[in-house]
Amino acid sequence: MPRKRRELYNKEICACSIFGAMNRDGERFTGAGVMSAIANMHVRGNGLGGGFAAYGIYPEYKDYYAFHLMFTGSNSDAKRSAKQDFDVFLCENFDVVYDEEIPHGDETAVSDPPLVWRYFVAPRKCGDEANLSDDDYVVMKVMHVNTKIENAYVFSSGKNMGCFKGVGYPEEIGEYFMLDRLYKAYTWTVHGRFPTNTQAWWGGAHPFSLLDTTVVHNGEISSYGTNRWYLEMYGYACTLQTDTEVIAYAADLLMRRQNLPIELVAKILAPPIWNSIDRMNEKERRLLTALRMVYAPLLMNGPFSIIIGQSGKMIGLTDRIRLRPLTAATRGSMFYLSSEEASIRLISPELDSVWTPNGGEPVVGKLNNMT
Amino acid sequence: MARAHFADPHTKKTAQGEQRVNTAEIDATNMETKELNGRLRDLMLSGVQKIALRNVCGQRYIGTRLYNPERRKVEIEIFGTPGNDLAAFLFGHKIVVHGNAQDGVGNTMDDGEVIIEGRAGDVLGFSMRGGKIFVRESVGYRCALHMKEYEDKRPVLVIGGTSQDFLGEYMAGGIVILLGLGGKSHEGNFIGNGMHGGVIYLRGRVEKEQVGSQVEISPLDGADREIVDHYVSEFIERFPELGLNKEEILRDEFLRLSPRSKRPYGKLYAY
Amino acid sequence: MKSFVFPEFHIIRDEAKCGQCRGCERQCAFGTHTYDPVQDRLISDDYKCAGCQRCVVFCPKDAIEVRPTQSPYRQNASWTREKMEDLKKQAETGGVILTGCGNDKPFRIYWDHIVLNASQVTNPSIDPLREPMELRTFLGAKPDFMEIKSEGDDVQIETKLSPNLTVETPILFSAMSYGAISYNAFRSLATAACKSGTFFNTGEGGLPKEMREQFGKCAIVQVASGRFGIDAEYLNCAAAVEIKVGQGAKPGIGGHLPGEKVSGEVAATRMIPTGTDAISPAPHHDIYSIEDLSMLIYALKEATNYEKPVSVKIAAVHNFAAIASGIVRAGADIIAIDGLRGGTGAAPKVIRDNVGIPIELAISSLDGRLRKEGIRNRCSIIAAGGIRCSADVIKAIALGADAVYIGSAALIAMGCNLCQKCYTGKCNWGICTQDPRLAGRLNVDIASLRLSNLICAWSHEISEMLGGMGINALESLRGNRDHLRGVGLYEWELEVLGIKGAGE
């Protein structure tokens, strides 16, 4: 009997560093600062993965979904062939307004880079699919590509934002994609990875994303199997051989599809313990009991700190007993999140406030002009 | 790249009379942890007694590599933000941080003194067995976790503000004092979970639900007051910039948290 | 007719120790021990001994030993002693072989081929003695979405939530009816359930009126094919209602409480005349299809004002997962599945030992089926039949169960030694009998304490294992098969269980 019929997924176990910087006035800045901040936490990673999410980088195409694609394969022919398969699918389902290879530096500076391409697209819905919202349509197609088209991975699919990631230290990946020179964003999040049990591959680096939601994650999700089956019931395919993607999908399910505010989503991902809930007033107790009852399979158990990026928002959250660190800070319109305070001080020596948020309590930065 | 400057030796008054104190300074800009701590060690071994570190930014284990059988002691002043595990396994030295500290300060510290002129992160004083730590502001999760005492060693941790959850978890010895200065209320939960030794003194109030089931909350007796009095004085001395009034602090209500039993889990097992 | 059957147990009495107190004689309802005044000594009849060990435990001088006898037959792998003797009994009586307790045949016990995970380095294991460790579980249907209306800080839940049972630990007492077990045993289960934050199940024998107010809130009341003792008050005093379709020990078979066990109190509780046979037909005669089941589910929901979850209990048989999926769609909030090794007070041995599938495989295939259909959240799964220890509980949950029912384990806690003579009504331990002299032996305070101790100990152990895996809420282990590995299993077994082999 063939072995692979059985579910043989792996999950990622990693320590990692995370960092986020947001200008709440919406002023855009290059990736130079976050690259040096994450480099300051070099020892938290092991060079097996680094990545960035940047918001506000494609103002000229802001109405189109920006797909970042990774085509893998043992040689350039294989990568090209994966791209051809994908292009056929893409043209059947989307109108492509512009596409190009994502500019990068010397390929020999990094290990085994895939072909990385970006497309700016608009959905072309036919038949029954016309009833889907654009976002639902895109999610469906992204899941299709990631499960059905071999060696092609959509790793970024939002509007006016993009992820950049790969195998290497984050500062090397930033340099490879020239993030300090080519892009300006109002929010940058970044991740340095220290995986211990998955093979290093470019798709396995953080951030993980769906539409404009991105997640960088420090931790290990002990509840992965439970989270995964629940998300699969809602049509999310977990394909990236790592546990972090479930957070991105959970955020999409709860925030976009179910329209829950981040404050409640945090109470689902990292709920207060029963002892605390039982002491609350009746109304709060009923709400939190209902959330835990209904969304029990989405509790992210195990140690984690994460930064969730969305258009106009940057959110920090740790597990409910804060087994992984997260420091938040502000300086004027700047809002920072980091695994360590020193990295924030490196790029902003003076700060208005610095604090370590309580476990399970989200810290949220929003664009000031957001409606 | 030589960043260690030997400053002019200057004199310091001691009880024994005048004594020469060698001082030095290191600029830690862009310096790796290992290099910084190597230089610190070299300076200590060369007889320097007072070292100022400038532009520290995330370097770890400062003070850790200063074990020496001769029991030389140095005093380190840190400008900037030291990295995790500051003063881990500290062997009797003194460290002053002019700013905030990160996670893991005083990890398994044996002796010495750490003064943080700001806040500190999680697991401060973890398994600390001796020495003193003074933090001007508040601290993060799991501080004084499994702090213990042995023979004449009794660690002391004095926190000006308050603490987040799990303060004194598994605590087996030592003294923790939370001053709640600036009207800081104690919101932390799971205080003293699994506590089976030592004592926590806390200025202000705490609800029964916030402390572990093995912990008894009681008022201070005379001996407790003496201890608190003593360490509040030491705290005030270390942070003169706060302009604190000892009588005012001591006038407020203090609570004592101590374990009900040395063997909280004696009844857990069948036979 | 002379019986050719050999005794199963041999009684050894240490005459030097025996004080002729005749305690053993009084203890044994089977009449094994008799006092001979002429010799002034006690004589034991091995043929009558059930092997329940009551006399051994209660002999004040420790003078008695009861040992299983060696097989008197020539060794034969095919014609085992049990096969030979069952056959002889049938030849002598022309009857069906009855038995009690669960299947004792050496079918593979998958629990013993599954190992658990633990954290090392990357994910701190959690110390359950000091850090919060949550076993609270909700049993019932959950909605796909929760609609929320929020204005500023004020958040209102718009979705109507289905009623759920809240258990503080995922262990419930399985259905055992008053009638099958004694009043004291029944009341001990109820007392322990209330004390431990869990539930007991009335079985199909009703709930005595005087217990309703105090114990109704921790009772799952059963509606079975005999419909004994069911009225609106019975349904409404309870926490949940369970429709019993089948039982692991005897799938497809009804029940029969003989008239001699139907005492005045049992009769009153079942609402039948004293001394009549209480017959539970094999099927519910108002359920011949899934639509009919749905009709009964909704009848019970109507009768309880939609305030209580409705459970449906079925035996795990070959195609049960598809049936269970239909049951969820028919409106059940909880599916209780009872596996091959589930216990009973009385069942034909041939059924008990040959029908049904092991619970481990059943949990996995049901959970998988419901997930695949996207309806796993619409019901909870309670697994029953062969749960022996806390490790079995936690493995059941990792395979996909929400909670477990324990029956035999609870009886053993009260004193049962699995002698399998429950159907005789002569239980010397006072558990499975209506004889007031025997039933009075079971002290409710002590038996309920033994039960609550068991729940407490298992809960601690579950917390330890969870903490070791770096998980602090049980819900994060549910269906999380990545924390399990198989040892010594065939490929198809790993496949059905949905787990990797050890080392993979």
pLDDT digits (tens, 9 = 90+) for A176-234: 999 999 999 999 999 987 765 555 688 888 899 999 999 999 888 889 999 999 999 99
The lowest-confidence range among B16-20, B220-224, C73-77, C495-499 is B16-20
Q: Which CATH class is domain A16-57+160-366?
A: alpha beta
Q: Give yes or no for C15 touching A (CB within 8 A).
A: no
Same-domain pairing of B145 and B75: no
Quick one: pLDDT at residue A198?
Answer: 54
Quick one: pLDDT at residue A3?
Answer: 39
Instruction: Please check whether residue C311 lies inside any domain of the structure.
Output: yes
Q: Give yes or no for B141 touching C (CB within 8 A).
A: no
Test C131 with B265 for CB contact under 8 angstroms: no
> What confidence tens digit (pLDDT) does each residue in A307-346 have?
999 999 999 999 988 989 999 999 999 999 999 999 999 9
Quick one: pLDDT at residue C44?
Answer: 96
Those of residues 109-148 in C touching chain A at CB distance below 8 A are: 119, 121-124, 131-132, 134, 136, 138, 142-143, 145-146, 148
Quick one: pLDDT at residue A8?
Answer: 42
Same-domain pairing of B21 and B110: no
CA pair distance C246, C324, nearest whole angstrom: 12
This prediction's pTM: 0.87
> What confidence tens digit (pLDDT) does each residue in A117-138 have?
999 999 999 988 999 999 999 9
> What confidence tens digit (pLDDT) does each residue in C375-412 have?
999 999 999 999 999 999 999 999 999 999 999 999 99
> Closest to A301 (Cβ–Cβ): which among C122, C142, C476?
C476
- A9: pLDDT strictly greater than 50: no
Cβ contacts of C460 on chain B, cutoff 8 Å: 268
Cβ contacts of C482 on chain A, cutoff 8 Å: 9, 11, 224-225
Instruction: Determine the residue of chain C that is closest to A304 in CA distance.
Output: C123
Test A345 with B81 for CB contact under 8 angstroms: yes
Q: Give yes or no for B126 touching A (CB within 8 A).
A: no
Pairing of strands A115-123, B50-57: unpaired
Quick one: pLDDT at residue A13?
Answer: 44
Confidence of residue A110 (pLDDT cuts 50, 70, 90): confident
- C75: pLDDT strictly greater than 50: yes
Quick one: pLDDT at residue A1?
Answer: 34
CA pair distance C164, C166, nearest whole angstrom: 6
Quick one: pLDDT at residue B214?
Answer: 87
Domain boundaries, position C168: 137-142+160-501
> What confidence tens digit (pLDDT) does each residue in C169-186 have?
999 999 999 999 999 999
- C111: pLDDT strictly greater than 50: yes
- A2: pLDDT strictly greater than 50: no
The residue out of B47, B80, B113 marking a domain boundary is B80
Instruction: Mutate one of C129, C130, C455 to test the B interface: name it (highest B CB count within 10 A).
Output: C130
Quick one: pLDDT at residue C364?
Answer: 97
> Is the complex ipTM higher than 0.90?
no
Taking residues B235-248, report their average pLDDT: 96
Taking residues C81-89, report their average pLDDT: 96
Instruction: Please check whether residue C320 lies inside any domain of the structure.
Output: yes
Domain boundaries, position B36: 1-80
Same-domain pairing of B10 and B60: yes
CA pair distance C456, C458, nearest whole angstrom: 6
Of these residues, A16, A91, A126, A238, which one is catalytic?
A: A16
Same-domain pairing of B72 and B90: no
> What confidence tens digit (pLDDT) does each residue in B172-195 have?
999 999 999 988 899 999 999 989
The two structure tokens encoding residue A146: 């990631």
Mean pLDDT computed over every residue of chain B: 90
Those of residues 212-241 in B touching chain C at CB distance below 8 A are: 212
Residue A63: strand pairing partners:
none
Same-domain pairing of B66 and B126: no
Using CB atoms, list chains with 3+ pairs below 8 Å to chain B.
A, C
Test C146 with A295 for CB contact under 8 angstroms: yes
Cβ contacts of A276 on chain B, cutoff 8 Å: 189
CATH number of the domain residue C378 falls in:
3.20.20.70
The lowest-confidence range among C249-258, C325-334, C421-430 is C249-258
Cβ contacts of C478 on chain A, cutoff 8 Å: 226, 296-297
> Closest to B194 (Cβ–Cβ): which among C129, C457, C460?
C129
Share of chain C above pLDDT 70, in %: 100
The two structure tokens encoding residue B134: 């003074």
The residue out of B52, B80, B108 marking a domain boundary is B80
Confidence of residue C127 (pLDDT cuts 50, 70, 90): confident
Mean pLDDT computed over every residue of chain A: 90
Quick one: pLDDT at residue B10?
Answer: 53
CA pair distance A41, A347, nearest whole angstrom: 13
- Which stretches of chain A sit within 8 Å of chain B by CB? 40-41, 43, 275-276, 279, 321-322, 325, 327, 340-343, 345-346, 354-356, 358-359
Q: How many domains does chain C have?
A: 2
Those of residues 374-433 in C touching chain A at CB distance below 8 A are: 374, 376-377
Same-domain pairing of C243 and C389: yes
> Closest to B164 (Cβ–Cβ): which among A40, A275, A356?
A356
Same-domain pairing of C211 and C344: yes
- C467: pLDDT strictly greater than 50: yes
Share of chain A above pLDDT 90, in %: 75
The two structure tokens encoding residue A207: 């951030």
Quick one: pLDDT at residue A241?
Answer: 64
Same-domain pairing of B66 and B98: no
How would you write chain B as a 3-class SS string?
Answer: CCCEEECCCEEEEECCEEEEECEEEEECCCCCHHHHHHHHHHHHHCCCCEEEEEEEECCCCCCCCCCCCCCCCCEEEEEEECCCCCCCCCEEEEEEEECCCCCCCCCCCCEEEEEECCCCCCCCCCCCCCCEEEECCCECCCCCCCCCCECCECCEEEECCCECCCCCCCCEEEEEEECCHHHCCCCCCCECCCCCEEEEEEECCCCHHHECCCEEEECCCHHHHHHHHHHHHHHHHHCHHHCCCHHHHHHCCEEEEEECCCCCCCCCCCC
Q: Which amino acid is at A293?
A: M
Quick one: pLDDT at residue B19?
Answer: 61
Quick one: pLDDT at residue A11?
Answer: 46
Residue C274: strand pairing partners:
none
Quick one: pLDDT at residue B5?
Answer: 54
> Closest to A287 (Cβ–Cβ): which among C121, C157, C495?
C157
Quick one: pLDDT at residue C400?
Answer: 97
How many residues make up chain A in this entry? 371
> What confidence tens digit (pLDDT) does each residue in A56-70 have?
999 999 999 999 999
Taking residues B219-228, report their average pLDDT: 96
Query: Cα distance from C199 to chain A (closest Cα, Å)?
Result: 18
Same-domain pairing of B72 and B91: no
Query: Cα distance from B243 to chain A (closest Cα, Å)?
Result: 22
Share of chain C above pLDDT 90, in %: 86
End-to-end CA distance of chain C: 61
Active site residue A163: no
Quick one: pLDDT at residue C253?
Answer: 86
Residue A114 or C121, more confident = A114
Q: Which amino acid is at A362?
A: P
- A44: pLDDT strictly greater than 90: no
- Sign of the torsion angle spanned by Cα atoms C72, C74, C77, C83: negative
Quick one: pLDDT at residue C251?
Answer: 92
- A41: pLDDT strictly greater than 70: yes
Instruction: Determine the residue of chain C that is closest to B166 in CA distance.
Output: C131
CATH number of the domain residue C70 falls in:
3.30.70.20
Same-domain pairing of C73 and C173: no
Quick one: pLDDT at residue B1?
Answer: 39
Mean pLDDT computed over every residue of chain C: 94
Instruction: Determine the residue of chain C that is closest to B146 in CA distance.
Output: C130
Those of residues 316-355 in A touching chain C at CB distance below 8 A are: 320-321, 323
The residue out of B53, B80, B107 marking a domain boundary is B80
CA pair distance B265, C106, nearest whole angstrom: 39
> Closest to C130 (Cβ–Cβ): which among B170, B268, B270?
B170
- A10: pLDDT strictly greater than 50: no
Same-domain pairing of B64 and B126: no
Same-domain pairing of B179 and B257: yes
The two structure tokens encoding residue C501: 């082999």
Q: How many domains does chain B have?
A: 2
Give the residue extent of every domain in chain A: 16-57+160-366
- B11: pLDDT strictly greater than 80: no
Work out how many CB contacts closer than 8 A connect A with C. Answer: 126
Quick one: pLDDT at residue A6?
Answer: 41
